[in-house]
Amino acid sequence: MKKHRERVEKLTPDHTGRWLITTMGSTYVIDLDACTIARSPRQEGASLDWDCQAEPYVELLI
């Protein structure tokens, strides 16, 4: 299976698939098809209880 990579400035309601979002303090994998989000801290000491676990989300504000 070939992986498709696309760089975008903003996700829209038309997007699907898995997306890697990088911020100053964390990275997130958002699966728009499964409605899950997983966070990984980029800085030591900034961890949360649910880090690195795919958790369901109810709504993403775009």
pLDDT category of residue 62 using cuts at 50, 70 and 90 = low
Domain annotation covers residue 57: no
Using DSSP's 3-state secondary structure scheme, residue 48 falls into coil
Domain annotation covers residue 8: no
Domain annotation covers residue 28: yes
CB atoms within 10 A of CB 37: 19
Domain annotation covers residue 52: no
- Per-residue pLDDT tens digits for 12-44: 888 899 999 998 889 999 999 999 999 998 877
Contact predicate 33/17, CB 8 Å: yes
Domain annotation covers residue 23: yes
Domain annotation covers residue 22: yes
What's the structural domain count of the chain?
Answer: 1
Domain that holds residue 27: 15-46
Domain annotation covers residue 33: yes
C-alpha R_g of the chain: 12
